Amino acid sequence: MTKTRILISQSTNPWFNLAVEDIIFRSMSADQRVLFLWQNADTVVIGRAQNPWKECKTDKMEQDGVKLARRQTGGGAVFHDLGNTCFTFMAGKPEYDKAVSTQIVLNALAKLGIDGEANGRNDLVVKDENGIRKFSGSAYRETIDRGFHHGTILMSADMTRLANYLNPDPKKLQAKGITSVKSRVINLNSIVPEIDYSMICDVMMQAYKEYYNSADVDVEYISPEASSTLPEFETKFAKQSSWEWNFGSTPQFNHQLNERFGFGGVDVYLDVVHGVIEKAQLYTDMLDPLPIEHFAAQMQGAQYSEVGILQVKQHVIAQYPAEQEILDELCAWLITQIS
| Phi, psi of 217, deg, nearest 5 | -75, 130
Mean pLDDT calculated for residue range 82-101? 95
Please tell me the total number of residues recorded for the chain in this structure: 339
**pTM of the full structure:** 0.83
Q: Name residues whose C-beta falls within 8 Å of residue 138's C-beta, 6 or more positions apart in sequence.
A: 75, 98, 102, 122, 123, 124, 149, 150, 151, 152
Q: How do the residues of the chain divide into helix, strand and coil, expressed in percent and rounded to 5?
A: 35, 30, 35
How would you label 117-138 residue by residue, b for 16+ Cβ within 10 Å and e otherwise? ebbeebbbbbeeeeeebbbbbb
Q: What is the pLDDT of residues 283-314, one digit of tens each?
A: 888 777 888 899 999 999 999 999 999 999 99
Give the other-Cβ count within 10 Å of 332's Cβ. Answer: 11
Q: Are 38 and 9 in contact (CB under 8 A)?
A: yes
- What was the pLDDT predicted at 180? 55
Reply yes or no on whether the pLDDT at 235 is more than 60.
yes
Band of the pLDDT at 130, cuts 50, 70, 90?
Answer: confident
Q: How confident is the model at residue 212 (pLDDT cuts 50, 70, 90)?
A: very high
153, with CB counted inside 10 A (0-12, 13-18, 19+), is: buried
Could you tell me the domains of the chain? Answer: 3-246 (3.30.930.10), 253-338 (3.30.390.50)
* Residue pLDDT, tens place only, 171-207: 555 655 556 555 588 999 999 999 999 999 999 999 9
Look at the alpha carbons of 188, 183, 42, 87 in this order and tell me if their dihedral is positive or negative: positive
How open is the CA angle 101-240-279, to the nearest 5 degrees?
Answer: 120
Cβ contacts of 296 within 8 Å, gap of 6 or more: 280, 281, 282
pLDDT tens-digit profile of 140-154? 999 999 999 999 999
Q: How far is CA 78 from the centre of its chain?
A: 7
DSSP 115-145: --EEETTTEEEEEETTEEEEEEEEEEEE-SS
Please say if the pLDDT value at position 76 is more than 90: no
pLDDT for residue 175: 59
What is the DSSP track for 31-66? TEEEEEEE--SSEEEE-TT--HHHHB-HHHHHHHT-
The answer to whether the beta carbons of residues 253 and 247 sit under 8 Å apart is no
Q: What value does the mean pLDDT take over residues 276-283? A: 91
Which of the given ranges, 48-52, 201-205, 227-231, has the highest pLDDT on average?
Answer: 201-205
Q: What is the pLDDT of residue 289?
A: 84
